[in-house]
Amino acid sequence: MAVRPEPFGALLYHFGTRKLSFLKNRTILAVVQSLDHHPDARSACRAAGLDDTQLAPYLKALGVLAASNMVVPREGP
């Protein structure tokens, strides 16, 4: 997947499926970019400055990205 930051958020391009997705703000971009550095999506959201009351739309967005294989679960050690 390639990530192209934009003023509104970012464009994501999946080379395997040729699918294009939009991230609608910089916060979700920060979350997506930090997923590899956190044990789970909730931790990545918190690291991006989101509190529990703000998590729902971001977790939903990550779920949509996962359903389209734009983000995939990390392989175990």
C-beta separation of 15 from 2 below 8 A: yes
| Span 6-65, pLDDT tens digits | 999 999 999 999 999 999 999 999 999 999 999 999 999 999 999 999 999 999 999 999
- What pLDDT shows up at residue 77? 61
Beta bridge partners of 11: 4, 22
Is the whole-model pTM more than 0.85? Answer: yes
pLDDT class of 75 with cuts at 50, 70, 90: confident
Domain ranges across the chain: 2-67
For residue 21, report the phi and psi dihedrals to the nearest 5 degrees: -130, 155
